[in-house]
Structure 1
């Protein structure tokens, strides 16, 4: 490729594929390709059930910017389909942490082969770096690595304006629409900053501040999406209305964190329902949209 930068954007599994593509460029590209900077804007990356390969949970050295946007109201509630929507938070690379950015790619072993792990899937098995979801008050914030959360469900932040996050076109809501409009503006902003050029003007005329004000003024439908205005449950254990996210590779579906633990306390002026049990904020600071 003659490109001097790769800008990737994706939603759900498409966002996960952006991370995988960066690994493939680094592992299989020629010298120029593997050293070409990669920027990733990941909108609610969700690998789905099954094995989370190690190349998903660790950013390769060629990624210079990672922006992840995660939906707040995709809970882990009694709706079984929500259980498959645990979100992926990849670990920042050495460049982002101001540390050594060199790695040695793991080659497929006999044990990997016996487990039917593909060669590409195990490349990062031995280079899993600092977990962004664990507490560490002494670690400085990474550069080129930003984590956002926004009200709405998995589909909402990708453009769905229905009142419940499902796909009934007769159930659209004007009070839900500001979320996908905001994410659209943010995506265009980052892509423009990274060098992408758009042939058409931005389709959203409202400003970011106005959209955020609407989201946090008219938030009833977002509250209902995720289990109510408060996420505490008096009937069920294990915080069923709190989303689970993870930065851990493997097949164990319980290797997750409660999202309202790791993000810390939302600004009190913003309408983010949380639980009283939350604790152990991760060392990376999240931004609340």
Structure 2
């Protein structure tokens, strides 16, 4: 489908020198699919792609290769994952990538929608309670897009002090974040060893096992800004 969309809209248009893509949830998975469709296109396969994904979730039985892996055209992959999501069917995807791709992954407290800015206690209702994750993720989305050459008019431009205070506030409200693990978008919850289910490529795993020298920081999904304040240095 992505290849058909490309052909539909690329009629005499200018071929870009670089493509930067941002997506949340299935939009994050669409980033994967678009990058892979470009790799299969003779005119687009050499274009470098950068991706910023926010808790990419494909939905049940949607772990086909083009959704869970990325090719050599993706130069940098940055993603934030919701540590406290427990809704059944909400496996997040950490894609398998080319060895040359820079992969930067980070955990963030909250549910799936918390990272996208819903600050309510159940990440569905209204209310500005758990607002910190949304601000942090938005900030780094803007930082990465700017670093990749995108001009943005309005940015949060959080300082190091701001980031520290937001993370300290999250830690202070740890019990609230723990409680939202009982909420589910699908009525049922699931977990893997008391952790969120994730998919590394098409292989199921536990949230905390996603770490190693293929990622930056190497601590992967156990990274903690209050323990190591340098974890974000690579994306600034």
Work out whether the TM-score is over 0.5: yes
Show the 5 A alignment for 1:219-238: 219-226=174-181
Question: Offset at 1:84?
Answer: 1.0
Contact 1:152 1:225 in 2 (8 A): yes
Query: Which of 1 and 2 has greater Rg?
Result: 1
Among 192, 195, 201, the residue aligned to 2:149: 195
Among 140, 165, 176, the residue aligned to 1:210: 165
Cα deviation 1:46-81 (Å, max 9, x = unaligned)? 000123111122211100000111000012xxxxxx
- Alpha carbons of 1:201 and 1:237: their partners in 2 closer, same or farther (altered >3 Å)? closer
* Higher RCO, Cα 8 Å, sep 6+: 1
Among 162, 187, 198, the residue aligned to 1:245: 198
User: Unpaired runs of 5+ in structure 2?
Assistant: 1-13, 183-189, 226-236
Contact 1:58 1:92 in 2 (8 A): yes
**CA distance in 2: counterparts of 1:28 and 1:155, whole angstroms:** 33
Matched, 1:258 2:211: no
Contact 2:72 2:97 in 1 (8 A): no
TM-score normalised over the length of structure 1:
0.63
Contact 2:191 2:197 in 1 (8 A): no
**Stretch moving more, 60-69 or 206-215:** 206-215
TM-score normalised over the length of structure 2:
0.77
User: Unpaired runs of 5+ in structure 1?
Assistant: 76-81, 97-143, 228-235, 250-254, 264-280
- Alpha carbons of 1:238 and 1:23: their partners in 2 closer, same or farther (altered >3 Å)? closer
Show the 5 A alignment for 1:1-289: 1-30=14-43, 33-75=44-86, 82-96=87-101, 144-165=102-123, 167-169=124-126, 172-174=127-129, 176-202=130-156, 207-226=162-181, 239=193, 241-249=194-202, 255-263=203-211, 284=215, 285=218, 286=220, 287-289=223-225
Contact 1:185 1:208 in 2 (8 A): no
